[in-house]
Structure 1
């Protein structure tokens, strides 16, 4: 398909070949291609997924992504074949995942989300705020001791969400090394074979099976214990292990990517940093705009159509896969005026960073609280906070799934 960009012909192939990688190498290409496709082809585009068989589509318009996420005719798990079209190798065949709420549909999924939401309520999150603030300050102390040019990603942004989600799940800090690398390899698509995928998944499963058994005998003030005690027996032990896996990977890795991307932006935009320091009252709105602009990956799990569905001017046939791609939807110019602009005064439709509908992220308030505490601390502790190795192309790199590292220099506020 040939499209016009200015006076230059740009070839964007349809069906569009999606890549499993979500990093700097493909970021600019992917952002350009998806924006071009939406403008010149439409909000739903035929696609070739890197793994699996069968016809697939990508939804890249705001309204269409919302529809895919909320329409009960698109399901995340049931009615799939063993080799459905997908972005990740290690979600194919029948990997040994524990069954959890994110792999369910309909009333079964809604009932479990309702219980989980009760235990991830705004009240519980607010009760975690003081402890989170203390963790943030301690990690900042350690980061500052590293000296100028220290890595704000590895030494700070990745540490805060891991500590918070571990506390929530009741995982002792000295036990995270048992399973963390395996979980992150799964989350980030660093899997080369089915054997490796199964080995990693089984490693995380074994840890959370052990943790659930421990909480039966030694309940604590943590989410696993609370779900075990919940009236009605909604969860069995296998599902609780699956809950641990899901919340660990989403609650740590995705939040770390967002925090890292936000700090990456501020480290390259000193004027914006100073503006936020001097206008702290706008932080809640600024965080929402950062969530719209800063990615945590290109999308979410592929859905399968249970019947023919008209969407975005096309017909997605029964058993076709469709991938709702969140990031381009958050830049849909038909919904967001001047979408490439970071505008802290923006009003209107909200972003889709945490999804939409019954499969929306149940920990979104926890993530928002962590981001607020990190921002408050960084803006309070540092008079300046700038990239030690600035990137001339930093704006075009914002699609990447969290920077691998972020070396910064700073000056501290005088006490």
Structure 2
């Protein structure tokens, strides 16, 4: 039987690709070839993806050329980041930093995140009654928050935002991606060195004071700097675009702001913007869902279809802000579940609630179908979102 070829590109603004849904219905665990030539197993059901992500026999070490996410820019001298590690190194490093992301510590940041959000909206309203929401709000808020968390000087915000954008852009060549990664890593390494000399009240300084290895901390800082704003910025743009397109959902939130927490959770489930984090490499023969995955074979969990699995979520293709489906996989699952998920939730809740409260006349400035979405690449979002009021 011929190996089917599938694309990971988005084909619809809201729904997973139809071929992914068909796999979930007809062949939920399938050996496929991606359009870039990689061959691997794809998992499409919630239970199977969750099982795979929770099993340490599926490796996250991208230095192995057989790993689905191995990239040419990852050389032998590459310092693994947290998301690229397996136990015991992953366990040790995550345990050392997880205290920075507890619900209690992050709750203390709410007033500052509110200030940052209000300032961005103030600046947006001070201009013409039309703006690109990505540039004016979706990017500045999470980038400022993660910068302050790490202790990045305000003057350096534009450098890291532009360089990280180069790193995650889907049309970036391996050489350009490597160069952008090199610039960011060099910057973070310099920042860690500076914190060692002049510590402040920030994550990097606290980690150094607790004995963190500077090189490990540099890799962690790089990861947090890129992941800490790109995915949240994408979610902000998608949430706002959806609310302005589906006006009945917008009315729900305006009539009952207490639904915001549930709306954020539901929108995370609905869009599942990150796919690349659900890729693993089998380190031994493992049976999953009745299928034998051989040692050395790659596996990709299609979390977009897992989060629309009708055996787990009633009417999964509908937005239901009362669902409170915290068992979704938008932040992954298991030992590598997103470290910054609580921070992302807080930012999304504050941005959406504040935006709807302060700009009640907000509307799309272009038809929804004309919004330039990021249909390729590891993270879904909008390149720009023109709005008016």
Q: How far has the Cα of 1:86 moved from its partner?
A: 2.9
Could you say which residue in structure 2 is the equivalent of 1:33?
19
* Partner of residue 207, structure 1: 187
CA distance in 1, matches of 2:186, 2:380: 28
Say whether the 8 Å CA contact 1:386–1:409 is kept in structure 2. Answer: yes
SS in 2 for 1:177: helix
1: CA distance between counterparts of 2:122 and 2:157? Answer: 22
Instruction: Judge which range, 129-138 or 99-108, deviates more.
Output: 99-108
Task: Report the secondary structure of 1:304's partner residue.
Answer: strand
Q: 1:313-356 deviations in whole A, cap 9, x for unaligned?
A: 32111000111222221111111111000011225662111110
Describe the shift of the 1:379–1:279 C-alpha distance in structure 2 as closer, same or farther (beyond 3 A): same
- 1:240 to 1:336, Cα distance in 2 relative to 1, 3 A: same
Query: Residues 224 and 308 of structure 1: is their aligned pair in 2 closer, same or farther, counting only changes over 3 Å?
Result: same
> Cα gap change, 1:404/1:348 in structure 2, threshold over 3 Å: closer, same or farther?
closer
CA drift at 1:30: 5.7
Distance of 1:282 and 1:26 partners within structure 2:
26
CA contact (8 A) 2:144 2:157 kept: no
Deviates more, 1:355-364 or 1:58-67: 58-67
TM-score (structure 1 length as normaliser) = 0.86
Q: Structure 2: any 5+ residue segments left out of the alignment?
A: none
Q: Distance in 2 between matches of 1:64 and 1:38?
A: 11
- Give CA-to-partner distance per residue, 1:249-301, whole Å, 9 cap, x none: 11100111111110110111222212101101222122111111123233425
**Is the alpha carbon distance of 1:392 and 1:176 closer, same or farther for their aligned partners in structure 2, counting shifts above 3 Å?**
closer
Q: 1:393 to 1:138 in 2, by over 3 A?
A: closer
The separation in 2 between residues aligned to 1:145 and 1:345, in whole angstroms, is 35
Corresponding position: 1:407 with 2:381: no
Contact 1:385 1:409 in 2 (8 A): yes
Q: Where in structure 2 are the equivalents of 1:242-253 lying within 5 Å?
A: 242-253=219-230
Matched, 1:365 2:342: yes
Contact 2:274/2:330 (8 A) holds in 1:
no
How much does 1:75 deviate?
A: 0.8
Matches of 2:303 and 2:382 in 1, distance apart? 19
**SS of residue matched to 1:350:** coil
Rounded Cα–Cα distance in structure 1 between residues aligned with 2:123 and 2:330: 30
Structure 1's 142 and 243: CA in aligned 2 closer, same or farther, altered over 3 A? Answer: same
- Cα distance in 2 for partners of 1:397, 1:239 equals 31
Secondary structure of 1:375 counterpart = helix
Kindly indicate whether the alpha-carbon contact (under 8 Å) linking 2:130 and 2:365 is maintained by their aligned counterparts in 1: yes
> Residues 170 and 223 of structure 1 are in contact (CA less than 8 Å); yes or no, is this contact kept in structure 2?
yes
Q: 1:28 to 1:103 in 2, by over 3 A?
A: same
Closer, same or farther: CA 30–379 of 1 in aligned 2, 3 Å: closer
**Cα contact 2:374–2:383 (8 A) shared by 1:** no
Residue 130 of structure 1: CA displacement? 0.6
Give runs of aligned pairs for residues 342-357 of structure 1, distance below 5 A: 342-346=319-323, 350-357=327-334
Is the CA contact 2:24–2:45 (under 8 Å) kept in the aligned structure 1?
yes
Check conservation: 1:299, 1:327, Cα contact below 8 A: no
Flag the 1:398–1:344 CA change in 2: closer, same or farther, 3 A: farther
Q: Distance in 2 between matches of 1:88 and 1:214?
A: 32
**Structure 1 stretch displaced more, 382-391 or 357-366:** 382-391
Size of the aligned set, in residue pairs, is 386
Q: Name the structure 2 match of 1:338.
A: 315
2:204 aligned with 1:224: yes
For structure 1, the 5+ residue unaligned runs are: 2-12, 411-415
Deviation at 1:229, TM superposition (A): 1.2
| Pairwise CA RMSD | 2.6
Residue 376 of structure 1: CA displacement? 1.6
Whether the 8 Å CA contact 2:46–2:309 is kept in 1: the answer is yes
What is the rounded CA distance, in whole Å, between the counterparts of 1:95 and 1:401 in structure 2? Answer: 30
Residue 88 (structure 1) shift: 7.1
Measure how far apart 1:85 and its partner are: 4.9
1:26 Cα shift? 7.4
- Residue 142 of structure 1 aligns to a residue in which SS? helix
Q: Is the 8 A contact 2:150 2:204 kept in 1?
A: yes
8 A contact 2:366–2:386 mirrored in 1: yes
Q: Which residue of 2 aligns with 1:56?
A: 40
Partner Cα separation in structure 1 for residue 119 and residue 15 of structure 2: 39
Q: What are the Cα deviations for residues 4-27 of structure 1, in whole angstroms up to 9, with x where unaligned?
A: xxxxxxxxx8433344xx56x676
Judging changes above 3 Å, is the alpha-carbon distance between structure 1 residues 283 and 328 closer, same or farther for their aligned structure 2 residues?
Answer: same
